[in-house]
Structure 1
């Protein structure tokens, strides 16, 4: 792949799809699709004093980080391409600082790498890396789910069905970004029943990494999304029935299927 000067550009020469109107004035909040701005929900301060600057900056950085993660999963930020913080900041309608901070976080997560004097390159991942992630996830999550299947009452599993339905809704729309969020929420809710915060942190990090697109790979098909979502419901049914072999098989197949 020839990159040339790809700062802040996709392979067709355009900038990543904007999250808001780049021409709009910066009001301190990143333009994140479907997200309410901070000033819409915090209400009027009794004395008219502004919120602490550190809190506001953290909020903007968090919004930008979420938007960048969504762009990664959705394929707007493409493997192998280099994006500059100032150009992305202009598209988000924020300063370059929160974009750089968010990109540095993504670098620590292994999603991007720093390119000196140019910006950040989206990591080009291989099928082998994805297979390794699936193997590690299975090694961690299968034993936990088997233990939960023996101990968690059926009523608790019933509480998770709305989360499984949310993945099905996103899959039916072909909305890969929202499916990724709903998928992580479902798995996090299942594992949370183990009561182990370190497990949740590690499993969520592995899950997020497994959702990043492969280099030169087509987007996950609509049919694959629908099939993955259906596996969530099937898993709940198996957990309720305490069918341990089916639980183990479904979890392993679910992780493997995510590579397709």
Structure 2
């Protein structure tokens, strides 16, 4: 498991699953001739995407960024359509670190699409129960409201199986939520309630742009997904937060990237430092 440490904060990537989605959808209006140079695809035009939560450990607390794609929750059709080649192994990852799901204090959800939120619940004796029963689950109020009352477009990704069992654990916020060196900011864009995370400690910075920058290949401000509900809001948020992070020489961390866990970019937009995902 790969780890990044800044100040007194440790980040470790867990094994949360693997999907393979259409590259054209993941890069929107960007021509394949451009995006495929940065992120390869298979013969079906699919690109590999991890769904790997990040465990944050600080001040005796255990926090997760996202929850993984879950295990045993998707139908055969869903597994096929989403190109799932591996389901979640989060519990096994935690065990290797001497932890169990009940030791997670917070789960920080940038948004609640199924590929981020399926790991929040699991099946036990035919019923869905909370995977992290002692955790406070943090997400924006806008996201939480849409999760429970999706519109005609979003109902395909906001599922009751992922929220009914954890409803009492959710603590929604409006514009910003903070705990020590960690802050979540509501940005909108990919979803109306989408948020990002910023961690600042020991003179160093981590920024987790979530699905505003799903992979290292989405660094260009204009490269946003066809999946984005509000693409202009995604672009506006990237215009705001990219300069902030680059000025601070921040680490950019990823949930979906199949090749990099984290990168730093130089002034010429070249990767100058990285933590690569180990196969």
Q: TM-score over 0.5 for the alignment?
A: no
Bigger Rg, which one = 1
More strand by share: 2
Instruction: Point out which structure has higher relative CO (alpha carbons under 8 A, 6+ apart).
Output: 1
More helix by share: 1
TM-score of the aligned structures, taking structure 2 as reference length: 0.25
TM-score of the aligned structures, taking structure 1 as reference length: 0.26
